[in-house]
Amino acid sequence: MPNVGRSAVFVVVLALGLAGCGADPAVPAPSSPTTSAPAGIMAACPSQGAEEFTAPVAGGSPVSGVQLGDAGRAVVLSYEWGGSPCDWSDVATELVARGYRVALWEYGTLTGLDRIKELQAVVDQVRAAGATEVVLAGGSVGGCVSMIGGSMITPAVSGVAVLSCASWYDVEHRLPTTPLAAKLRVPALYLAGDGDSLPIAEVRKDFAVVPAKDKKLVVVAGSTGHGVELLDGTEAAVAKPALFAFLDRVTR
């Protein structure tokens, strides 16, 4: 969605509570990361210091991505429908500067809940490379993938940041997100603009059923931003500090 019609920004923050684990998508052992230059859609992403990887996926095609940084705490970023991993490049660069390892990756051939097998493969790569704490973050469909992964990735991740995901997930399957949010027990941050085409009431509905003891909803008022757009422009003054504070806290 284009960044238009944004007004002065203020924020409504809601915090609540409850905790737990998740299911177990079987995946093969991760392959060793390569050091060649990123190819395909990943070639447009920042390549300085990037280490390309290809991860085998159970029941699907291998997925490709890049890792930046070499810290023990990591963030796996998942992008919006119709977008690109590179849309998160600026955020990735900033996270590396803040002491994180970051993985950007390209969706493969799986859809629906099976896509979490791809995310599992990426998390396995990041852990094999030395990450000891992993947080999932993403926008729109990537936010939904991160949210669902929060209850399915094993071992459990340290937390999830969900930007602009609610109502339904996956254009092919249109899975209702509320029952999936009800399984999320790891620390969770929800971010959304109240002027987004995604009704804020749907975001609040999903957030309300999240059973995690550590959860927080940040609503950027007057914002039409969707997904990673919330981390740019005037929205960033609210959304970015909330995201960074969450990441710092759950990866201590």
Calculate the CA dihedral of residues 217, 88, 38, 29 and round it to 10 degrees.
0
State the pLDDT confidence band at 46, using cuts at 50, 70 and 90.
low
**pLDDT tens digits, 212-222:** 999 999 999 99
Q: Mean pLDDT throughout 57-83?
A: 96
Which CA distances in Å does 27 have to 41, 103, 120, 191, 213?
24, 18, 7, 30, 29
Mean pLDDT check: name the lowest of 2-16, 51-65, 125-139.
2-16
CATH number among 3.20.20.210, 3.40.50.300, 3.40.50.1820, 3.40.50.720, domain 10-250:
3.40.50.1820
Give the per-residue pLDDT at 44: 74
Give the per-residue pLDDT at 49: 83
Question: In angstroms, rounded to a whole number, what is the distance separating the alpha carbons of residues 70 and 232?
Answer: 25
Question: In angstroms, rounded to a whole number, what is the distance separating the alpha carbons of residues 118 and 26?
Answer: 11
* Mean pLDDT score across all residues of the chain: 87
Give the per-residue pLDDT at 61: 96
On the question of pLDDT at 159 being above 70, the answer is yes
State the pLDDT confidence band at 41, using cuts at 50, 70 and 90.
confident
Question: In angstroms, rounded to a whole number, what is the distance separating the alpha carbons of residues 248 and 252?
Answer: 6
CA Rg value for the chain? 16
Give the per-residue pLDDT at 37: 54
pTM for the whole structure: 0.85
Give the per-residue pLDDT at 60: 96
Cβ contact 58:114 at 8 Å = no
Give the per-residue pLDDT at 155: 98
Give the helix/strand (H/E) hosting 76.
Answer: strand 73-78
Annotated domain spans of the chain: 10-250
How much of the chain exceeds pLDDT 70, in percent?
83
